[in-house]
Structure 1
Amino acid sequence: MAISRSRLDKLLSDKLNIKRKDVRLLLAQKRVFVDGSLALDIDLIVDSFSLITVDGDIVQANQAKYVMLHKPVGVVSATKDELHKTVIDLLDVPYKSSLHIAGRLDLNSSGLLLLTNDSRWSERLSKPDSKVAKSYQVTLANKLTEDMIPAFLNGMYFEFENITTKPAKLEVLSDYVAKVELVEGKYHQIKRMFGRFRNPVVKLHRQSIGNLQLDVTLKPGESRELHPVEVQSIF
């Protein structure tokens, strides 16, 4: 759900199908509450998540939703797809059609995926200025070498887009497994960076976004809502 903002009098006029002068009367009679507080100002700016009541009856009660999903391999990060099962198909919540994806994973990648109806939150999450780090466990076809570490840290130039990647942290966990942490998400970035060393990625699993770790109790395909503290902990 994209967050729309409008004046209170316009919203009530549209919702209740009454004239704006009648809205002014409702406010003057102290019959309107916004987020639990008495509303008296017709110029008050409200958004699609503002709780609005008139005479105690709910006029609008949309709630921001934030969902963590353990995305399996073979499921596409999309709301609709004619060929593959989508991450939306995996959800069992009545509001799933209102959700959008905050940071995709490709078809053959797995791990932490976030979905929300709060566009301001997802936009903040994706902005480079937010510098939200994403952590991945990567399994490679060939042995890792120490010279990869400074190459990731210094950034790599991709001629096709004419860009240099931001510094990424590479930690060698074993001969074939590494942890990669980066603050951006260019197209197939991790696979292309290892491709510079002719080392194909066999598995790519996202473990965390910011301070939010994938819940270890979630099996592939399972999901749960984020706790309020988790929503803010990412940044």
Structure 2
Amino acid sequence: MISPRGRLDSFLAKTLNIPKKAVRELLKAERVTVDGKVALEMALQIGPFSQIYLGDTALRADTPRYLMLNKPVGVVSATKDKEHKTVLDLIPEALRAGLHIVGRLDLNTSGLVLLSNDSRWSESMMQPGAHVPKEYWVTLEHPLTEDYIAAFERGFYFETEGITTLPARLAILGEREARVELCEGKYHQIKRMFGRFQNPVVALHRHRIGALMLDPGLAPGQWRPLTDDEKLACLKGAKPPNDFRPIAENP
């Protein structure tokens, strides 16, 4: 497997299946360009989106892609699945290569999913300690009470993982409707938190990641590219988990 990052000479040797001596001759003959400039240095550092050409032949010409998708219920957050349609199945085949999912949702959860082929961008949101907030709209089987708010702020101990969840914000929007903001994503976390009150989640929808909200113009199953501002918005709003500024009462 060819590494997406590293030295130009190693990339050329592996891609063209030639010895380093032959690579040196190609560079000396000024036949290789990187990002539109003639490459002369064997040790030139390249990245996954470096535009590398040998003459008129593209050896690497991928470009970063950042997509927003409104995931429907019943679609699995995976690149392939034998039983269910996947989020990648909703993306045109020409754009799928190299895409990975940034923040998965359960099969029966709908809403904002991000996809990209830029691992550094996605890792900046998903790495431990990033604390990028994610907002969910929740519909429950039974009525809510004010007790939920303090309990979510305190966190819940999950015996299976041996951890206590980070503080979460809960706003009661209706008798059986709430908005929850988390800065982590444990397995079935929201359903398990409401489960402590014996209150099953009927519907769960992710509305926001960081400062990026799901485009209301996207119907379930639709997608669009992110703008440059939206790519940055995903990373905004990260804060210490004990910062309890109130969240608005209305979506």
Q: Distance in 2 between matches of 1:111 and 1:128?
A: 23
1:26 aligned partner: 26
TM-score, normalising length: structure 2 = 0.86
- CA positional deviation for 1:144: 1.1
Q: Which runs of 5+ in 1 are unaligned?
A: none
Give the aligned length: 234
2:246 aligned partner: none
* C-alpha distance 73-3 of structure 1, shift in aligned 2 (>3 A): farther
2:209 aligned partner: 209
Question: 1:138–1:178: 8 Å Cα contact kept in structure 2?
Answer: yes
Q: Distance in 2 between matches of 1:146 and 1:76?
A: 34
2:159 aligned partner: 159
Query: Taking every aligned residue pair, what percent have the same amino acid on both sides?
Result: 55
Question: 1:27–1:41: 8 Å Cα contact kept in structure 2?
Answer: yes
- CA positional deviation for 1:176: 1.3
SS at match of 2:151: helix
CA deviations on 1:30-80 (whole Å, 9 max, x unpaired) are 443222334222111212221112335432101122211100111111122
Instruction: Write out aligned runs for 1:77-88 (5 A).
Output: 77-88=77-88
Say what the alpha-carbon RMSD is for the aligned residues. 1.8
1:46 aligned partner: 46
TM-score, normalising length: structure 1 = 0.92
SS at match of 2:144: coil
CA deviations on 1:65-117 (whole Å, 9 max, x unpaired) are 22111001111111222221211222224131432211111111100011122
Q: Which runs of 5+ in 2 are unaligned?
A: 236-251
- AA at the equivalent of 2:199: N
2:245 aligned partner: none
Q: Distance in 1 between matches of 2:62 and 2:106?
A: 30
Q: Distance in 1 between matches of 2:39 and 2:127?
A: 34
1:182 aligned partner: 182
Q: Distance in 2 between matches of 1:98 and 1:41?
A: 28
Is 1:116 matched with 2:122? no
- CA positional deviation for 1:13: 2.1
SS at match of 2:129: helix
Question: 1:35–1:50: 8 Å Cα contact kept in structure 2?
Answer: yes
